[in-house]
Amino acid sequence: MSKLRALILNSVDDDETMHRKRRMDESPILSKYLINHSYAIELSDEQKLLPANVMMSQIINGTIGEVDMFNRLKTNIMNYNPDVLLVHTGFVFRAFPSEIISVLDKIKSEFPNLKIGMQKMVGTYDSEQVANIINDLF
Amino acid sequence: MSLEEFITTVLTSAAVSTAIAAIIKTHLEKKLEIEIQEMRHAYEIELEKIKNELSIEADTVHKIMERRLNIYPKLVEIIYRIRNMARDIANNKETSPVLIDELTSRARELEECLYNDRMDLQRDEIFEPIHSFKNIIKEYNILIKDFNYYKSIADNEKAFSAYVEIKKIYDTKIQPLHMPIIQRLSTYSSNLKLEKNMEDGQQ
């Protein structure tokens, strides 16, 4: 039986996320999934050096590049061909909900067969259908 | 000029001068009075403004304290419970699935509080340490599940490595970070600025 391919859309590629990513990669419990990661915002080298609170505040008070995010996510989906896209509704999602939903709407139009699961948002997209996977991964 | 004429001229001149001086004095007094009244009025307006500002500030501080008293005790309870569960898990090589489920559920509860109480935590500059604590607990949770899995397949070597890692995360991250967070959330001070021990706790 082939493993389910899951692409997780995280907030940012900061240290904490990369640490959790490594932990997920190494986990035997999660080995039933093939997991790959994408990021709503990719941090610059300077931002990666900032303390977490400063980095978060800088992002929350800035803007999000909707086109960049869409293109990056689309490329990841085309390269990785996931069965499900799981959206971590972390601090970036909380700061830019309409922008991220707009990107996800476009992704859903481009890839209608791709299931999209939103953490904590049961009625949104296919979250209910993939609730068990969300439960395992978040 | 006769003496009479001279005296008349002097008296007339003196009378005119006195009259002019009286007019000028009256005018200056009125002007001064108006200026004093204007200053008094401006002062009263300023005083009223300051009173209003102080009243608004006191009201805001009161409302913020009320919000903290509604929100923070719950957060303290969750963090304290999580830390106790994490300690029990780190100190026992046998972990019941119920305890793991409870830890998972508390970690999610903490995450929910972070979303709901974001504004207050951000204002009090305490969002980030609790966010980090939550992420550490999530990582800890994955590790505990891995540990139990390795035990269930009798892979003792990997189970031991996972247990060492569990102990390490508890000793170096969970235990040092939880107390400064609880101290900050429990303070009665109206001004919760970042304290030195909080920064130390995150190292």
Instruction: Let me know: does A69 contact A38? Beta carbons within 8 Å.
Output: no
B154: region left, alpha or beta (phi > 0 left; psi from -120 to 50 alpha): left
Chain B CB contacts of A53 under 8 Å are 125, 127-128
How many degrees, rounded to 5, is the angle at CA B166 between CA B150 and CA B142?
60
pLDDT tens-place string over residues A22-54? 999 999 999 999 999 999 999 999 999 998 888
pLDDT of residue B52: 92
AA letter at B152? S
Instruction: Let me know: does B133 contact B79? Beta carbons within 8 Å.
Output: yes
pLDDT of residue B194: 46
Alpha carbon of B78 to those of A84, B84, B153: distances in Å? Answer: 32, 10, 33
Partner-chain contact B146 A26, CB within 8 Å = yes
Quick one: pLDDT band at residue B197, thresholds 50, 70, 90?
very low
Residue B52 covered by a domain:
no
Q: How far A110 CA sits from the closest chain B CA (Å)?
A: 31
Partner-chain contact B135 A52, CB within 8 Å = no
pLDDT of residue B193: 53
Chain B CB contacts of A120 under 8 Å are 112, 115
- Alpha-carbon distance B36 to B42, whole Å? 10
Residue B30 covered by a domain:
no
Residues 6 or more apart in contact with residue A122 via CB below 8 angstroms: A128, A131
Q: Which domains are present in chain A? A: 4-137 (3.40.50)
pLDDT of residue B133: 95
Q: Is the pLDDT confidence value at B85 over 50?
A: yes
Q: Mean pLDDT, to the nearest integer, of A4-19?
A: 93
Closest CA to A51 of B143, B105, B131: B131
Burial readout B5-43 (b: 16 or more C-beta within 10 A, e: otherwise): eeeeeeeeeeeeeeeeeeeeeeeeeeeeeeeeeeeeeee
Domain count of chain B?
A: 1
Q: Mean pLDDT, to the nearest integer, of B148-161?
A: 92
pLDDT tens-place string over residues B19-46? 999 999 999 999 999 999 999 999 999 9
Range of the domain at B169: 70-202
What percentage of residues in chain B have a pLDDT greater than 90?
A: 68
pLDDT of residue B190: 58
Q: Is the pLDDT confidence value at B191 over 80?
A: no
Residue B16 covered by a domain:
no
pLDDT of residue B118: 86
The residue to which tokens 């269930």 are assigned: B152
- Alpha-carbon distance B75 to B129, whole Å? 13
pLDDT of residue B122: 86
- What is the Cα gyration radius of chain B? 38
Quick one: pLDDT band at residue B192, thresholds 50, 70, 90?
low
Closest CA to A83 of A33, A28, A11: A33
Residue B59 covered by a domain:
no
pLDDT of residue B201: 46
Chain A CB contacts of B125 under 8 Å are 53
pLDDT tens-place string over residues A71-110? 999 999 999 999 999 999 988 998 999 999 999 999 999 9
pLDDT tens-place string over residues B4-21? 888 999 999 999 999 999
Closest CA to B114 of A120, A99, A30: A120
**Global ipTM:** 0.77
Residue B195 covered by a domain:
yes
Q: Is the pLDDT confidence value at A135 over 70?
A: yes
Residue B173's CB is within 10 A of a number of other CB atoms, namely 21
Quick one: pLDDT band at residue B189, thresholds 50, 70, 90?
low
Q: Is the pLDDT confidence value at B113 over 80?
A: yes
Q: With H, G, I as helix, E, B as strand and everything else as coil, classify residue A79.
A: helix
Residue B128 covered by a domain:
yes
The DSSP letter of residue A38 is: E
Quick one: pLDDT band at residue B164, thresholds 50, 70, 90?
very high
Q: Is the pLDDT confidence value at B195 over 60?
A: no
Alpha carbon of B133 to those of A110, B115, B200: distances in Å? Answer: 38, 14, 14
Quick one: pLDDT band at residue B203, thresholds 50, 70, 90?
very low
A-to-B residue pairs, Cβ atoms closer than 8 angstroms = 38
Residue B168 covered by a domain:
yes
Residue B37 covered by a domain:
no
Q: How far B36 CA sits from the closest chain A CA (Å)?
A: 49
Closest CA to B75 of B146, B126, B28: B126
